[in-house]
A and B are shown apart, each in its own frame.
Chain A
Amino acid sequence: MQRPTLETVPAGRAAQREILVRARRSLAAIILGKDEQISLALACLLARGHLLIEDLPGLGKTMLAQSLAQVLGLSFSRVQFTSDLLPADIVGVSVFRADSGEFEFRPGPVFAQLVLADEVNRATPKAQSALLEAMEEHQVSVDGSTRALPTPFFVVATQNPGDQIGTFPLPESQLDRFLMRIAIGYPDAASERELIAGEDRRSMIRDIEPVAGPETLVALQHSARAVPVSDALVSYVQALVRHTRESADVEIGLSPRGAQAIVAAARAYAFVEDHSGVYPDDVQAVFAAVSGHRLKPAGSTRFRSPAELCRHVLDSVAIP
């Protein structure tokens, strides 16, 4: 795990832009043919949100998380969620040291800048909530003392939608903690061919040159939040949100927090895309990822997946 000892934080727009271009290029070299998912994952990170990847095993969920950490120079840890996972396995424990006669805190895997929570729905709600609390508070309480988590703190959780037996699906209220939920999907034929024939991905990840460090990432997050949002765009987001509340296909529409999440993600996405403001394209790009897990489709809906529903919402609302 590499970390640059001395980090020069780029302040100018051009320099930040250069970092993003390099980061995307590095990521695209490893995760083939998934430019959209890479952009969304980066945007989620820049918007200081957490990412939920829901897809079948073997599609590169872990790889995406690992390479993100590597490219951005973040400390990385991984927790495999199982049904017997305890909260202490995530946040850490205090152990008694015989030589000093004192308790010493052994930080758990959550004390990393990028935490990969694999198969988060396999653990019991108690263990899940330990992680979700850390995500929300950016700190954990162990043995009565509060310990701050590193900055930036970014959780990538994965879920396997295929099997439901022995899992504890995250309730809607907790899904809300994730800024985005994305799927990766099968690669296209050319990309798959290259994956099969090409270099070993794991060694590739190890060889990635970090393009930034934690400090730089914080600066980028700061810049992403400053992307201007015009009145016309606010109207657009409002119209989208209102449509989800009024549509017969949706049982529970987007909350104001959902609208805020859309704007925050769209800002970061616009920053990744180097737009001078948030464009409707940015909103459309993040809409399904941000609102897919926040909408509850009506039982009578003709749309089979939240993604389809989101697409339909986008196709029904005029852009002002």
Chain B
Amino acid sequence: MAGPRGTDGSLLASLPWTLAALVVSLVPHVPFLPVWITGAFLGCAAWRYLIEKRRRLLPSNGIRAGLALVCFLGVLFTYSSISGVGPGSALLAVMAALKLLETRKRRDQFVLLFLSIFLLMSSLLREQYLWSVPYMAAGVLVVMTAWLRMSAGEEQTARRSFATAGRLLMYAVPLAIAMWVFFPRLSAPFWAVPIDTSRAASGLGDSMSPGDISSLSLSGEVAFRVSFDGPVPAPGDRYWRGLVLTNFNGRTWSGPEPNISRTARGEIRPRGEAVRYEITLEPTHRQWVFALDMPTEWSLPRTFMGRQHQLARTTPIEQRVAYEVTSYTAYRTGVDLSPMYRSWYSRLPDGGNPESRELALSMRAAAGSDRAFVEAVIEMFNRDDFYYTLEPPPLGSDPVDRFLFDTRRGFCEHYASAFSVLMRAAGIPTRIVLGYQGGEINPLGGHLIVRQSDAHAWTEVWLDGTGWHRVDPTAAVAPERIESGAGDAAFEGIGETWGFTAPSRWAHQATMAWDALNAGWNGWILGYGPDTQNSFMQWLGMSDPTWRKMMLTLIVLVVGLVMLIGVVMTYRYRPPKKDEAALLYGKFVGKTGLEPRIGETAHAFGLRVCSTGAVPGTTVDAVTDAYLEARYGTGGDAARIRLRQAVAAMR
């Protein structure tokens, strides 16, 4: 006899499915969970399976309580918190695994399947990728199959349960679509998900030291995507302005905190054509907002322009955002910069990099004017043997001196930093802009992809009379970095120059297709917010859409769909095929006007029919005998024909 902790192998049929459902639900969390949680999860699953298979005892209450406490403390220790997506999902996963150890009866698995669904859905709190949808669908399919397996009789095959689960999911698809389309989107969400801060943010930081940007160069991660209203600007004009660095401490450049300037926007004097486009920015976990140099209008709320014409939002960008921007690639700004600011933009730390300062002063003296000096320095970078490389040698103290006079190998941040130091040493106001440069046009989506590898640092120098000028010293060293579209560059040997091999064209096309899909997904599915919904409702013919109207439509639609699905299911339902003899006998029963009792045999029923006198005894006997022979005996066709005739002969 199985005691309260004993197992009898009765779960062997359904347990593997439940375990599969749990594992499938865990998989999207695995990259974010500490390894020990995944280990504990799989360990518990294997343990439970072996217990069932070998008919061992489940662990005692004490052991289970101990394990629960250890796991709880483990989560608390790992995350130093138990709220938020990270610790929450970790706790959910590990407790689901422990729940396995007290799952004894078939119905106990219900709880596990509920947990599976919850675990599966909670992965959406982190990120909703394109592959999330097929994965969720597959996960729910597995969970539902496990559900059906739990209640399935032994005669039902797993394949059949799987098919049933699939059919049920298909019925749910129109409901899900209707809810997605019509459920009112609110501009302010009801709740916010605490973001998992343990996840390292990739992308540009708030300051620049040597090596910061080159570390990004290998990252194929998308920083943002851009769809232009008109023609795409030339590669040389695609400078995506991010933050501006103004302070140099001898090694690191840093900038002001995101600030608001009432005058900065008005200072911009556009020249030439406006460029209008929409940017879909991936989460950066920072406040900086990227736009084509130089933005004049932007649609992102709570976003302002700082003193140095950098855009920032009041809160960090924790979720993908889309915004429209108008920019001018040709502009003039800061023409009347105050002397105070001029000296501020020319500050250098006391001491350090003496050779560079000396070089700057002598070159400035030789050049005669600021403009000529700028050109001379660019010329120097171009002419002398400076190299553009991803793996520059380490620089010790006085990094600018070491770079300019010894190593001469560096990435954009080395050139921008060295150039700015030279300029400032000569008293020219200079600042460094961090952002992205270039981007690759996706021929399938028509949009521009800007990746982390496009991260770039360039400089702006202030010249008397004309204001700020963008100067990119990297362009002097590696003009192909700036002038070529990155997409073409990948096939023209530029990849090798940068230190990594160019991908094959086929792989590139696959990447492009995947990117186009993702862009569409972001734009159409994830970007379906209050505004899009509003315009979609109007397009559908709903005048002045309010949440009441949408909710009402949704309710009507859901009720209608449920009824429709009900009708479809009823129509599709095929009762198990009945024996012809049984059908004929059913007809006979109908004609007698009596109803057989449960467990009443044909003979007994026949006797009862005869006793009422409604049907002649000979007919009853003929029908009963023919039916029994046809259905249970060896009467075969002959008996069936007799039965048919006997039933037909009744009035």
Contacts and interface: CB of A to CB of B under 8 A. Distances in A.
B629 to A, nearest CB: 5
Given A279-B602, A316-B599, A319-B600, 19 more contacts: A228-B634, A230-B631, A230-B632, A230-B633, A275-B633, A276-B629, A276-B633, A277-B628, A277-B632, A280-B601, A280-B602, A280-B632, A281-B601, A281-B603, A284-B599, A284-B601, A314-B599, A317-B599, A319-B602
Contacts of B632: 230, 232-233, 275, 277-280
A276 B634 contact: yes
Contacts of A316: 598-599
B384 interface: no
A278 B599 CA distance: 16
A262 B604 CA distance: 20
Interface in B252-300: none
Nearest to A232: B631
Interface in A203-249: 228, 230, 232-233
Contacts of A276: 628-629, 633-635
Interface residues of B, number: 17
Contacts of A315: 597-599
Interface in B569-623: 579, 582, 597-604
Contacts of A275: 628, 632-633
A277 B601 CA distance: 15
Contact of B599 (A230, A277, A318): A318
A273 B635 CA distance: 16
A315 B579 CA distance: 23
B639 to A, nearest CB: 8
Contacts of B604: 281
Interface string A265-289: 0000000000111111100100000
B313 to A, nearest CB: 65
A319 B599 contact: yes
Interface string A284-320: 1000000000000000000000000000001111111
B346 to A, nearest CB: 91
A278 B634 CA distance: 10
Contacts of B635: 276
Nearest to B581: A232
Contacts of A281: 601-604, 628
Contacts of B602: 279-281, 319
A2 to B, nearest CB: 36
Classify the interface of chain B: helix, strand, loop or mixed. loop
A284 B597 CA distance: 14
Contact of B598 (A228, A232, A318): A318
Contacts of B631: 230, 232
A317 B598 CA distance: 6
A267 B602 CA distance: 18
A315 B600 CA distance: 7
11 contacts: A232-B631, A275-B628, A275-B632, A277-B628, A277-B632, A280-B602, A281-B603, A284-B601, A318-B598, A319-B600, A319-B601
Interface centre among B579, B599, B600, B601 (most CB of A within 10 A): B599
Per DSSP, are chain A's interface residues mostly helix, strand or loop, or mixed?
Answer: loop
Nearest to A228: B634
A279 B633 contact: yes
A231 to B, nearest CB: 9
Interface residues of A, number: 19
Contacts of A319: 599-602
Contacts of B597: 315
A199 B603 CA distance: 36
A318 to B, nearest CB: 5
A163 B633 CA distance: 45
Top 3 A-B residue pairs of the complex, sorted by shortest distance between their CB atoms: A276-B633, A277-B633, A277-B632
Interface in A142-176: none
Contacts of A228: 633-634
B628 A279 contact: yes
Contacts of B598: 315-318
Nearest to A314: B599
A281 B632 CA distance: 11
Nearest to A280: B601
Of A275, A276, A278, A314, the most chain B CB neighbours within 10 A belong to: A276
Nearest to B155: A238
A275 B633 CA distance: 7
A314 B599 CA distance: 5
Contacts of B600: 319
A276 B598 CA distance: 24
A110 B43 CA distance: 61
Given A316-B598, A318-B598, A277 B634 contact: yes
Contacts of B599: 284, 314-319
A263 to B, nearest CB: 12
B581 to A, nearest CB: 9
A314 B598 CA distance: 8
B318 to A, nearest CB: 55
Contacts of B601: 279-281, 284, 319
A88 to B, nearest CB: 38
A117 to B, nearest CB: 33
A232 B579 contact: yes
Residue among B579, B603, B629, B633 with max Cβ neighbours from chain A (10 Å):
B633
B635 to A, nearest CB: 6
Contacts of B629: 276-277
A277 B597 CA distance: 23
A317 B633 CA distance: 21
A284 B628 CA distance: 14
B440 to A, nearest CB: 66
A220 to B, nearest CB: 18
Contacts of A277: 628-629, 632-634
A152 B600 CA distance: 36
Interface string A174-213: 0000000000000000000000000000000000000000
Contacts of A320: 582
A281 to B, nearest CB: 5
A309 to B, nearest CB: 13
Q: Which of B582, B603, B632 has the most CB of A within 10 A?
A: B632
A71 B233 CA distance: 112
Contacts of A279: 601-603, 628, 632-633
B623 to A, nearest CB: 14
A319 B602 CA distance: 9
Interface in A116-144: none
Contacts of A278: 632
B585 to A, nearest CB: 11
A317 B596 CA distance: 12
A233 B630 CA distance: 12
Nearest to B597: A315
A275 B631 CA distance: 12
A294 to B, nearest CB: 19
B621 to A, nearest CB: 14
A211 to B, nearest CB: 26
Nearest to A320: B582
Contacts of B633: 228, 230, 275-277, 279
Q: Which of A228, A280, A318 has the most CB of B within 10 A?
A: A280
A316 B579 CA distance: 22
A284 B579 CA distance: 21
Interface string B109-146: 00000000000000000000000000000000000000
Nearest to B604: A281
B292 to A, nearest CB: 73
A244 to B, nearest CB: 13
A319 B604 CA distance: 12
A278 B629 CA distance: 9
A318 B589 CA distance: 15
A318 B635 CA distance: 23
Nearest to A317: B599
Nearest to A275: B633
